[in-house]
Amino acid sequence: MISLSLIGSIIGINVVYVSIFSLRLILMIKGRRGVASLLAMLEVFVYLLGLNLVLQNVDNPFNMAAYCLGFGLGVYMGSRIEEYLALGYLVVQVIVNSLETDLAMKLREKGYGVTSWEADGKDGKRLVLQVLVKRKNERRLMETLNKLSPQAFIISHEPKSFKGGFWVRLTEGRRH
């Protein structure tokens, strides 16, 4: 017999479990071990609740399907939560065709830390800018770059750590 409340409980518990699992893993990678350890305890508790429900009702394939569905939804939800939290920083490298641009100055006026240098590209000299930005401010930076230099070539990546420079004053006492 199919119990919709049991199936809903299995799905819900697994969504919570896998979301916590995803966040814990991301926090561990970012070096936030204390919070990750606390989440691990909650994660195991929720996992055992869900596993207990499935194992008590293992004879019903709908329960196992609910477990799988909840697992998939949990991965999605965990990634969405992490995206919303936007933990950490990004290094955004901007390459523009003209050395005469005042893009670096305009970005600095908007509060961004910018390092710039001249580089040799396939078709001549280029201006390269490197901007360190909090992940939660990435969209705003990209919109600004699109307005100020729509033809720019942009690459972003997440640094594992950084030391010194413009950001030291802004992040003093925080973990990088």
pTM of the model: 0.64
Of 110, 113, 103, nearest to 169 by C-alpha is 113
Using one digit for the tens of pLDDT, what is the confidence trace for 118-160? 999 888 899 999 998 888 889 999 999 999 999 999 999 988 7
Supply 45's token pair: 């508790």
Assess contact for 22 and 73: CB atoms under 8 A: no
Distance (Å, whole) CA 112 – CA 81: 26
Taking every pair of Cα atoms in the chain, the longest distance, rounded to a whole number of angstroms, is 74
Q: Mind listing the pLDDT tens digit for each residue in 86-117?
A: 777 889 999 998 877 899 999 999 888 899 99
Pairwise pLDDT comparison (64 vs 146), residue with the higher score? 146
